[in-house]
Amino acid sequence: MTTAQSYLEHSSPPGRRGWKAWLLTHDHKRLGLMYLWAILFWFVLAVLLGLLMRTELMGAGRTIMGAETYSSMFTLHGVIMIFFFGIPAIPAIFGNFFLPIQLGADDVFFPRLNLLSWYLFMFGGGFAIFSLFFGDGFPDTGWTFYVPFSISSAGNVSLTVTAAFILGMSSMLTGLNFVTTFHRLRHKGMGLMKIPLFTWSLYATAWVQILATPVIAITFVLVVLERLLAIGLFEPDRGGDPLLYQHLFWMYSHPAVYIIILPAMGVISEIIPVFSRKAIFGYKGIVYSSLAIAIAGSLVWAHHMYTSGMSDVSVFVFSLLTFLVAVPSAVKVFSWVSTMYRGSIAMSPPFFLSLCFIYLFTVGGLTGLVLGAAGTDIHVHDTHFVVAHFHFVMLGGTGFAFFAALHYWWPKMFGVLYRNRPAYVGAVAAAVGFVFHFVPMLILGMQGMPRRYYDYLPQYETGNFLAGFGAYLLVFGLLLMLLNLVLSLRGRRTAPANPWGGTTLEWTVPSPPPVENFTATPEIKDFPYDFSEIVANSKK
């Protein structure tokens, strides 16, 4: 196998050269890379916006920006992180790249539709940038676009909402593609219980994307229509009910956090067994818990609305359902920990980041129970506690899993190895910074500091200062890891086909993979996490 056959050298369809080989490609791997660069751009941008916000909050009163700028900052940070990073990151980059390979297929089922999804993503991004510089100023509603403020706000809400609508279509079409690929292009010898867990998690996610995204689409259409035509469907003085907006919004946006976290759990389920040199504990349990999270997670949306004026019965039912979601999530955490038990641990950057994930995600999950219980939620609702909980799950969870995935699959995607030391330093800095950043926010929330305020009472100053300090350390760690990865592209150290000792199909093909993924018919194992061969080879 020479690298000359790799997808980086040869285009699909064949014969395309220059920019056409990329911008008109049908190759799921090239599309994965194109998503990678676009999404990293948005991620770094939103990280820097977040850093500016925390800098503002480091001291009481006005520090570096005014209240209105601050409102726009947290809106943009939220919109970008949710719609441009969280939802697409793992499915669009790693899902596109590895789902077909893990299934033993040569591409996704609808390659041209896949290209269209990428264009929709870029188009939505262009729209979002456009909305910043044209119209009546930055949107300032928060990423939730709650009515009636989102209808009366002078900011350029319509364009931002439209951008999110377009991104939703992109995400839904990717989900559609994955489901069809999963059913129709899976290798004939691969039964349902032989599928790698990352692909299983993407499958569960894809269904949530398909089920839930149209609801946010129609909700955003209604917001735009209200702004343009003033129909009054959500305005009380015209007979509308703002609570209905919240229902529709969360009917998508709560499942959306499972769209964000499920693929991350899939990544961790891949990494933990490889570096424990031991079959994953409870394979079926993890598969079924992914599906259970997808189903149960779609039925808990109104736990965002305990204080919005729902009936007590609704509050009780949604609180109960919310607690049920904790069960399959805990099944996964216990499975990962049990996999490591008596394993032969080989420390590596992706494994270290996965350990951070388990720790931070567990804190996020447990604080979620505080919010899921109606009684305690009343106390901490709309405080910094919510912000901290959310970031423990989304950044501590999905963010760290995203970096774990980057470090795990980078050698396969680009055929180069990165340096371990900067990766470890970055990961430690990010994890320590993370704790410094968000633990004070949990406490501030308990003490009653509201979210989305640009100023606060003097007693909150120490906590906010510490959080700001943590933010700088966190951002330093994240950027160091990214820089280290990008610098590895100079290609000093080429990666072998299987640098980690992985057992899933992507590790049987060269790094980087050839255009059609497999040069010979892939051999499907009875169990995707059978390490007996890897362990036997390492003893020689």
Partner 1 sequence: MMASTSDTTGIRIGMWIFLYSEIILFGGLFVLYAVYLYEYSELFAQGGKELNRIIGSLNTVVLLASSCTVAASITAIQRGKKGQAMACLAVSIFCGLVFVVNKYFEWGAKIHHDIYPNSATLQDGEPGLNIFFGLYYVITGLHGLHVIIGMVLLTTSLVLVHRGRITASRYAVLENSGLYWHLVDLIWIFVFPLFYLVL
Residues making contact with partner 1 (CB under 8 A): 26, 109-113, 116, 172, 176-177, 179-180, 183-185, 210-211, 213-215, 217-219, 221-222, 225, 229-233, 237-241, 244, 247-248, 251
**If you write DSSP's letter for every residue of 127-177 in order, what string do you get?**
HHHHHHHSSSS---S-TT--TTHHHH--S-HHHHHHHHHHHHHHHHHHHHH
For residues 230 and 151, what is the distance between their CA atoms, to the nearest angstrom? 8
Smaller CB separation from partner 1, 132 or 295: 295
Three-class SS of residue 267?
helix
Half-sphere exposure of 377 (CA within 13 A, CB side): 18
* Residue with smaller CB distance to partner 1, 229 or 313: 229
Of the pair 62, 184, the CB lying nearest partner 1 is at 184
Burial (CB count <10 Å: 0-12, 13-18, 19+), residue 229: exposed
Nearer to partner 1, 111 or 125 (CB): 111
Shortest separation between residue 7's beta carbon and partner 1, angstroms: 17
Taking the complex as a whole, the smallest distance from the CB of residue 211 to partner 1 amounts, in Å, to 7
With contact defined as beta carbons under 8 Å apart, do 377 and 306 qualify?
A: yes
CA nearest to 262, candidates 318, 198, 326:
198
Which residue lies nearer to partner 1 by CB, 252 or 385?
252
Tell the smallest beta-carbon distance from residue 156 to partner 1 (Å).
21
Q: CB 259 → partner 1: shortest distance, Å?
A: 14
Nearer to partner 1, 52 or 179 (CB): 179
Contact (CB, 8 A) for 114 and 72: no
Q: How far is CA 418 from the centre of its chain?
A: 23
Question: Do 371 and 400 form a contact (C-beta atoms < 8 A)?
Answer: no
3-state secondary structure of 12: coil
CA distance 321 to 300: 6
- Nearest residue (CB) to partner 1, 222 versus 427: 222
Task: Tokens for 403, please give them.
Answer: 């970096």
Separation of alpha carbons 473 and 427, rounded Å:
11
Least separation in angstroms between CB 92 and partner 1 = 18
Residue number with CB closer to partner 1 (169 or 505): 169
Nearer to partner 1, 34 or 108 (CB): 108
| Nearby residues of 299 by Cβ (< 8 Å), 6 or more positions away | 321
Is the Cβ–Cβ distance between 167 and 226 less than 8 Å?
no
459: amino acid identity, one letter: Q
CB of 141 to partner 1, least distance (A): 20
Q: How far is the CB of 6 from partner 1 (least distance, A)?
A: 22
Taking the complex as a whole, how short is the minimal distance between the CB of residue 526 and partner 1, in angstroms? 26
Mention every residue, 6+ apart, whose C-beta is less than 8 A from residue 540: none
| CB of 304 vs partner 1, minimal distance in Å | 17
Least distance (Å) from partner 1 to the CB of residue 236? Answer: 8
Centre a 10 Å sphere on the Cβ of residue 445 and count the other Cβ atoms it contains.
25
Closer residue to partner 1, CB minimum distance, 29 or 381: 29
Query: Minimum distance between the CB of residue 324 and partner 1, rounded to whole angstroms?
Result: 23
> DSSP assignment of 287-324, as one string?
HHHHHHHHHHGGG-GGGG-TTS---HHHHHHHHHHHHH
Structure-token pair, residue 233 = 């469907």
Q: Which is nearer to partner 1, 29 or 437 (CB)?
A: 29
In angstroms, what is the minimal distance from the CB of 311 to partner 1? 13
Report, in Å, the least distance between residue 229 CB and partner 1: 4
Nearer to partner 1, 218 or 489 (CB): 218
Q: What's the min distance (Å) between Cβ of 539 and partner 1? A: 44
Phi, psi of 110 (to 5 degrees): -115, 85
**Collapsed DSSP state (helix, strand, coil) of residue 15:** coil
Residue placing its CB nearer to partner 1 in the complex, 216 or 466? 216
529-536 long-range contacts, Cβ below 8 Å, gap at least 24? Answer: 529/273, 529/279, 529/280, 529/283, 529/503, 529/504, 530/279, 530/503, 531/273, 531/277, 531/278, 531/279, 531/501, 531/503, 533/503, 534/277, 534/501, 534/503, 535/277, 535/344
The residue (of 62 and 238) whose beta carbon lies closer to partner 1 is 238
Q: What gap in Å lies between CA 361 and CA 389, rounded to an integer? A: 9
What span, in angstroms and rounded, lies between the C-alpha atoms of 158 and 509? 46
